[in-house]
Amino acid sequence: MCELLGMSFNLPVRPNVSFRGFRHRGRANPHGWGIAFYPDESAQVIKEPLEATESGLSGFLQGYEGIKSRIFIAHVRYSSVGSRTHKNTHPFSRELYGKEYVFAHNGTLGHYESLKLVRFRPIGDTDSEHAFCHLLARIEERGINDWKGQDFDWLAEKLREINRWGRFNCIFSDGEFLFCYHDRDGYNGLSFLHRRPPYGKIKLKDEDWEINLAEEKRKEQTGYIVATKPLTDENWESFKPGELIVFKDGSMVYSNLRQV
């Protein structure tokens, strides 16, 4: 089924706690794992076509202190379209208007070849990368360099158009905004958590592990975490079917289906 993880914070953070919980989801999604983040205006994408919990690299990254970013996107893959290869492993990345977009998808699109492509072309053979290249073509066609409110409304409609071809949850970013869209029929779920002070103890859902966030977080640190299913015992909230939520610097700046 694949699962998604996205994070947007007001200050650069380490992904340790969320990535530790998310990494366990690889057991049910053994065909690949990947993580993308922004050390600066460019993106770093790390991925492998194997189960996350069996990867020495993902185990290293779980506790590595050298990774910090305001935005993270991660994915564990259960392949429905495309072979189990590095080129088919999410997230995917492309440059547009001097910004590096990264993209991850959960779901299966039928007849996805009908989605129009222009100059962006898939390297692999997945419906996900094809949809990403199509979406970038539409963004380029509209000429979006700096995203504004009316562009978010337009994007929500374009994502719903892609969604007509099948099941479609996606998370993507241009390094400034984190875009998160939930399938119009509610496929597989998508939830978000507003993590903010005062911080206390939390427990992971997939591991008997507890941490006191007050010892890990700066008091002024705040942000949102998005996941296919809640990762912790905190108060997660579900996306509405067909909802696009956009985050920037740890704040929710847009939703097509709720007041922001």
Active-site residue (options: 2, 133, 170, 180): 2
CA atoms within 13 A on the CB side of 96: 27
The beta strands (E) that lie in 16-128 are given as 33-37, 44-48, 69-76, 92-96, 99-106
Judge whether 2 counts as a catalytic residue: yes
Distance, in Å, from the CA atom of 39 to the CA atom of 68, rounded to the nearest integer, reads 7
R_g (Cα) of the chain, nearest Å: 17
Q: Contact 166/107 with Cβ under 8 angstroms?
A: yes
Query: What are the structure tokens assigned to 32, written together?
Result: 């690949």
Residue 190: phi, psi to the nearest 5? -160, 130
3-state class (DSSP) for residue 94: strand
Residues with catalytic annotation? 2
